[in-house]
Structure 1
Amino acid sequence: MTHVARIARLHPQDLDDDQRAVYDAIAGGRRAQGPQLFALTDSDGGLEGPFNAFLLQPRLGGALQAVGSAIRYDTALTDRAREVAILVVAVRWSSAFEWQAHEAVGRHVGLSQQELDGIRSGEYAALPADERALAEAAARLAGDGDLDDAAYAQLVDLVGEAGVFELTTLVGYYATLALQLRVFRV
């Protein structure tokens, strides 16, 4: 089934000052530095993926973009661990955009085809033990939104309490994006 986008693509020349500040933080900020593994903007400069919707309410969109940037650049999770968790959320939410964008990032940070195929199918055996435990925790968080005492203790042993906070924030953020992508038919 093909869906038609529910919101118009906002272009740089049409933005007010508050929208422009959010746009600049995304299109010209940390996400735009280094290798571009997925497009942040289309050929006319409009924001791709979930980011266009951030412009609808710039104060909230700006805060959300700042959280996303912090998850990507300011946590102790390894690049591979972060991408594993994001891809687990993408699978749980059937988010094609998140999968496409972060599969490319995952490859860039060293995830093999076998590991990616496993994540896509919900089988994490191909991952190293620490990433497998993280993927299982992310799947539980993206599923019923909780960890039993044993899973929590295992995750604390693996990444510490701060790492549990980082992972729960990551799962919540990417679940939010997946929800927005779905509702706005991006």
Structure 2
Amino acid sequence: MAPRIRPLTPAELTPGQFALYAAITAGPRAAGPQHFALTAEDGSLRGPFDALLRSPAVGGAQQELGSAIRYRSGLTDRTRELAILLVAAHQHSAFERDAHEAIARALGFTEAELLAIRALDVSGFDECDRIIGRAVIELLDGDVSDATWAAASGSCGIDRFFDLTALVGYYMTLALQLRVFRVE
């Protein structure tokens, strides 16, 4: 499917859009190792970030939530990437899968683990990852069972479980936006 919007270059941005662009390109996503390019050769933002520019007030709040989830939550890097990849698999979000598989590989995920995640199969993971993975899969259907709640909140704590629910909701929103705007 063809993209529904053309990415905006920095020269085309309104002052509000440029402020959001600067927050994204100068923030934590741009710092440290880059496992996928944040911008294209013409300076336009890749992935979901260009769509955020269409509404700087909402897009700014959304990118700040994403930044908090990725860089300031209590989730471990491995837990975060496992959860993101399960959302990407469930939502058939190629961009999120490709971008976050690169990060997961850098964290030590194996190709077998990545294939299992694509199939929404966490049965072969260690106990902690299996508990979190099961919780994410249930959250993708809208709720968690009492048994999963007890295991996951006991394993990672209620505060981190809150972070996990926020992550699932945020990445489901991104997957929806990527799909609707036909972002490649």
| TM-score computed with the length of structure 1 as normaliser | 0.96
The equivalent of 2:50 in structure 1 is 52
State the match for 1:23 in structure 2. 21
Structure 2 counterpart of 1:39, from 37, 40, 47: 37
The whole-number CA distance in structure 2 between the counterparts of 1:37 and 1:128 is 25
Q: How does 1:36-115 map to 2 (within 5 A)?
A: 36-115=34-113
CA distance in 2, matches of 1:14, 1:171: 32
Q: Does 1:149 align with 2:146?
A: yes
Return the letter of the residue paired with 2:35: L
Alignment partner, residue 117 of structure 1: 115
CA contact (8 A) 1:114 1:126 kept: no
Deviation (angstroms), 1:94: 0.3
Quick one: distance in 2 between partners of 1:108 and 1:127?
18
Tell me which amino acid in the other structure corresponds to 1:168.
T
1:159, CA displacement in angstroms?
Answer: 1.1
Which ranges of 4 or more aligned residues in structure 1 deviate by more than 4 Å?
none
Q: Tell me the number of residue pairs that the alignment of Structure 1 and Structure 2 aligns.
A: 183
Q: Partners in 1 of 2:135 and 2:145 — Cα distance?
A: 10
What is the rounded CA distance, in whole Å, between the counterparts of 2:24 and 2:146 in structure 1?
38
Distance (Å, rounded) in 2 between the aligned partners of 1:75 and 1:124: 23
Q: Which runs of 5+ in 2 are unaligned?
A: none
Distance 1:129 1:148 in 2: 17
| CA-CA distance at 1:126 after TM superposition | 3.2
Work out whether residues 26 and 32 of structure 1, in 8 Å CA contact, stay in contact via their aligned partners in 2: yes
Report the RMSD for the aligned CA atoms in angstroms: 0.8
Write the deviation string for residues 156-185 of structure 1: whole angstroms up to 9, x where unpaired: 101111111100000000000000000000
Q: 2:176 maps to which residue?
A: 179
Q: Distance in 1 between matches of 2:170 and 2:146?
A: 23
Distance 2:106 2:22 in 1: 25
Shift of 1:132: 1.2
What's the TM-score once normalised by structure 2's chain length? Answer: 0.97
Note if contact 1:37-1:105 (Cα within 8 Å) is conserved in structure 2: yes
CA deviation map 1:125-180 (0-9, x unaligned): 332210111011111111x2101111111111011111111000000000000000
Paired with 1:159 and 1:145, the residues of 2 have a C-alpha distance of 20
Partners of 1:110 and 1:77 in 2: CA distance: 17
Cα distance between partner residues in 1 of 2:137 and 2:123: 14
Counterpart of 2:158, as a letter, is E
Partner of 1:130: 128
